[in-house]
């Protein structure tokens, strides 16, 4: 693995962040900058924390810390999706369910990656090589 771009969790979280961004731009005006803005920020933070952690991978604790932050951001994004759907601002139930399920899947994958890093740290490639 030469780049964070090689990580499945990066690619999937970025795809979802773009999808959340596009979805929130069609919300009612009163939600565009309220809950919609929160959803956009948390969705993009999932990916940003993966990238930042990968950049700090020389230090195991920092790497894991940012992956844990990314994991937490998936939960926050799901919460914003719940709020949008339950308040009626997001009316497409199929889209809501799919996005929520996709974020659940990414959350599980991030958690598994954290476990892998913890267990395989000594075999993890040195970022300077």
User: Residue 51 belongs to a domain with what CATH number?
Assistant: 1.20.1440.60
Q: Confirm whether 128 is domain-assigned.
A: no
Mean pLDDT (whole number) for 43-71: 96
Q: Confirm whether 127 is domain-assigned.
A: no
User: What pLDDT score does 32 carry?
Assistant: 87
Query: What is the spatial distance between Cα 50 and Cα 4, in angstroms, rounded to a whole number?
Result: 8
pTM of structure: 0.91
Q: Confirm whether 30 is domain-assigned.
A: yes
Number of domains observed in the structure of the chain: 1
Rounded to the nearest integer, the mean pLDDT of the chain is: 93
**Which tokens hold the place of 3?**
């780049």
Q: Confirm whether 126 is domain-assigned.
A: no
Q: Residue 48 sits in which domain range?
A: 4-115
45, 103 in Cβ contact below 8 A?
A: no
User: What pLDDT score does 121 carry?
Assistant: 82
Reduced DSSP (H G I as helix, E B as strand, rest coil) percent helix, strand, coil of the chain, to 5: 80, 0, 20
């Amino acid at each position: 693995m030469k780049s964070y771009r090689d990580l499945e969790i990066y690619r999937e979280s970025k795809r979802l962040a773009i999808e959340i961004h596009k979805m929130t731009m069609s919300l009612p005006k009163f939600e565009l900058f309220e809950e919609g803005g929160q959803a956009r920020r948390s969705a993009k933070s999932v990916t940003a924390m993966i990238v930042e952690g990968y950049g700090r991978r020389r230090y195991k604790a920092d790497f894991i810390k940012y992956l844990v932050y990314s994991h937490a951001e998936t939960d926050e994004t799901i919460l914003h999706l719940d709020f949008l759907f339950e308040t009626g601002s997001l009316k497409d139930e199929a889209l809501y369910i799919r996005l929520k399920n996709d974020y659940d899947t990414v959350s599980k994958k991030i958690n598994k990656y954290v476990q892998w890093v913890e267990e395989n740290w000594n075999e993890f490639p040195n970022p300077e090589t």
